[in-house]
Amino acid sequence: MNFSKEQSESGVTERLFDLTVAGEVVPGVVWAPENAKGPRPLLLMGHGGSQHKLGGRLAAMAKRYATDFGFAVAAIDAPLHGDRMTPEESAPYFATLREQLARAGGMTGEPVRTTLRFAERARREWSATLDALQSLDFVGAAKPVGYWGLSLGAYFGIPFVASEPRITAAVFGLAGLGDSTPDFERAARSIRIPIEFIFQWNDELIPRAEGLALFDAFGSTEKTMHANPGGHFGMPPFEAASWDRFFLRHLTSP
């Protein structure tokens, strides 16, 4: 892990880093309370499709978890996203995905399988990132680890969380089973940790039946689904308060 930039503001230190995984440079960021020392809970955050590790909502949430809860929070650019590709390099992938979405009428069938072509790469990158983060003195390996990811962050996060015993609780959402790959369904069914799942009842990208099927597939005995009216980008802001309670409950001591 090579740090390239560090800045502190409003009680939070933001550190940009690069990590090489299987010959691929993975850009990332970790936030922590300013002057943090010693181990603390770690929250990994997966950004949405066409977004990046420093996206507005993600970064704001990460900084708040650092200041209000004392967490360390980290994000990486997913394959074909953020600083990993120029717009010209990633354009063919997104053009194909848009065509498939139009034909399928949403994120089901071929669009899901196109996205999941990169899930194994993302899984390896997240595991390597977690290894590196836990070697830092202000993170450590002694505290619980959580995962938060909606939309693309869920499609890439579910296989990662299923393979990673260090993750103790996760928030997923805005995703569906969607006639996906057998590996993805197996991953969802193998998850046993507490899950909170967010879904938009009128999501124009994720058919309702596919979202319900994914929630049903999770093997967790402690799982909760929050369904709200509205489309894919209309999730109400009050859901953030529920994530706060969920991660405080599962990543901190009573």
Q: What is the largest CA-CA distance in the chain?
A: 52
Phi, psi of 112 (to 5 degrees): -65, -45
Q: How far apart are CA 107 and CA 101, in angstroms?
A: 6
Decide: 113 and 149 in contact? Cβ < 8 Å. no
Domain of residue 86 covers 2-251
Q: How far apart are CA 227 and CA 27, in angstroms?
A: 33
Average pLDDT of the residues of the chain: 95
228-242 per-position pLDDT tens digit: 999 999 999 999 999
pLDDT of residue 170: 98
Q: How far apart are CA 86 and CA 101, in angstroms?
A: 22
- DSSP assignments along 16-36, one per residue: EEEEEETTEEEEEEEEEETT-
What's the CATH code of the domain at 31? Answer: 3.40.50.1820
pLDDT of residue 91: 86
Minimum mean pLDDT range among 102-106, 242-246, 250-254 = 250-254
Question: What share of the chain in percent tops pLDDT 70?
Answer: 100
Question: What share of the chain in percent tops pLDDT 90?
Answer: 84
Q: How far apart are CA 179 and CA 174, in angstroms?
A: 15
Domain total in the chain: 1
pLDDT range class, residue 168, cuts 50, 70, 90? very high
Query: Does the structure show a pLDDT above 80 at 76?
Result: yes
pTM confidence score: 0.95
Query: Does the structure show a pLDDT above 70 at 254?
Result: no
Minimum mean pLDDT range among 32-41, 98-107, 164-173, 207-216 = 98-107
**Mean of the pLDDT values across residues 159-164?**
98
Minimum mean pLDDT range among 7-21, 106-120, 201-215 = 106-120
Task: Determine the angle formed by the axes of helices 152-163 and 182-190, rounding to 10 degrees.
Answer: 60
175-188 per-position pLDDT tens digit: 999 888 899 999 99
pLDDT of residue 179: 84
